[in-house]
Structure 1
Amino acid sequence: MAATTVTLEALQTNDVPFEALEDAFGPSSLGILVVKDLPARFADLRLRLLSYASYLAQLPSDQLQALVDEKSHYELGWSHGVEALKDGQYDTMKGSFYVDCQCFYLKNPRVPVPGQPVTRGAGQNLWPSEEAIPGFRKTFEELCTLLIDIGALVAKAVDSYAEKKIEGYEKGYLENVVRTSHTPKARLLHYFPPLSRDGDSPGPESSANSAADSDEDSWCATHLDDGCLTALTSALFVDEASGLRPITDATALPKLNVLTKSPDPKAGLYIRSRGDSVVKVNIPADCIAFQTGEALEKITGGRFKAVPHFVRGPSSNDGSKVARNTLALFMQPDLDEVIDKASGLTYGKFVEMIVAKHA
């Protein structure tokens, strides 16, 4: 079973067949749509940003600590070793860098006001200095803007379908949510090589991270996204054995030993299909994938389904120093947005229910 693929042009002309949307997001689907024939600049932005992830993870500890925001519950900036795995141990095999996209995507973003409650995921972004990683912020913002713009086109296609198939569906609803939401969040991920980092930070060889041989979801446990759409780039595999060459300026592409494919063909993104079979999804490097979330399932009255998925780590520790870098962008409604018209359920209340369920 393969992921459904459409062209960017078909999205731009609103010419995606309803059958393709059902194949991508419907009850018997994998819950994922791949978009190809992207603007030429996408390839450079993807390679550049995913390369920067390796540089970010190897910044001096004091510089990384300056990017940590505990007050946001680590939903902004850098985090490592603070996320609990399904066995209760803390995840030391990957580092995350979160960015609040509304800060640069919207003309009038919401930022925290002293003394007032903080909107989930909203805040002032933390960035490494231009001297530390030249071009990092500019590349991040450009790529995320492109992803949201294309996500809005996917949302428009969903709207066209829903307006025909779902009684009472509000015209242009999902596209408006994607284009105006104050909660889009991007997560740049760096999966550390199997060896411990600099000998002082546990890597995937530690007890919390050595389950790849026995646990299929060793890199990221099976879960559902709670938003509307999640944009995903294909992963970049970097052999860091010889170290990272300095980045001379913001226009220079980082010179890394990038592998053409995963060193372990079984490692990567997997989707648990509606029939409970497990399917590995390979996203081409020149494409973007869009995955369904639980909010979209609510919005479409169950016509389109959220998809359980997980990430499987390498099957063995062979002593290599290959890192895996990728980007996910979560397109979510505002907290006061009603996602179930029949019950009046808001996205904020829905998130509270999910948190309580997993507490």
Structure 2
Amino acid sequence: MEKYLALVARQEGAEVRTAVETLEAPPLQDGQVRIRVACSSVNFKDALAVDPRGHVVKHYPHVPGIDLAGSVAASKDARFKEGDRVLVTGYGLGVSVHGGYAELATVPADWVVPLPGGLSAREAMAFGTAGFTSALSVLRLEEAGLAPDQGPVLVTGATGGVGSVAVSMLAGLGYEVAASTRQSDADAQALLRGLGAREVLAPEALRMPEGKAIARERWAGAVDPVGGPLLRDVLGAVRYGGGVALSGFTGGADFAANVYPFILRGVRLLGIDSVLCPMPERLRVWQRMAGDLKPAGLLDAIASETTLAELPGALAAIARGEMRGRVIVTL
């Protein structure tokens, strides 16, 4: 059996410990593809996978990593052959099966996406699940009628993975982007303006005035990977017929709201699911990401890199909300 290195999470009592270990690749089954991983990425969900309170992984030991890109090492599915350049995001990768934080990964062929022309493996992982979620959010808002001439678009959590990519995508499409972040230092401001944000706001600037049930119309639409109490304020300031693409809950899973934005302005709350997105839609989104949704200078503007050995520190940073942009894991 072929041996490979992986970051393995093991539960020890009430804690989960991680270490780089040598594993043996299991026999390949019909309908499976074995991928030689070139790179992966760091996501908030990966941090939850190494936290026993995260409720993401049911069984340990486990190899996290909900993204990967590389080439086919072996295949028992006629759609893929050795050497094909591929990527995998979502489904059960890094959750129900061993994930991308390994030199080799064995996955169902139905999860595998051919790497689109125009994207390298590193660029695909600079996107990763976060970028895919951003792109899906933009497409859902477009399908709901959003266009660049309708006014500014708000992006919350803008220094995070989903937010930073969304700012860059929207700016590249010609939208006026307002970026909201709780990080107020000069570096964060410079990052967001470099990605194309016209305005950078603290979350406090989005709050509705005390006693108001709905705010003045401000945003043509919004990309919100934060959720939590701030979602009420975002919804209350969306213009007539606009929408909010909601994809995360780093700000909390609960929020208090009222019906006024929906019945007075026809605002739409658009749920974004990047995990079980059907394959035809998934392929369409990745083609857009290799085309008009690919930011100029994607790697320079958004991504930094880490290794398997350094990865636990990156997972801890994203769990604390300290990570900016995207981090690529090089194997």
Where is the strand percentage greater, Structure 1 or Structure 2?
2
Same fold by TM-score greater than 0.5: no
TM-score between the two structures when normalised by the length of structure 1:
0.23
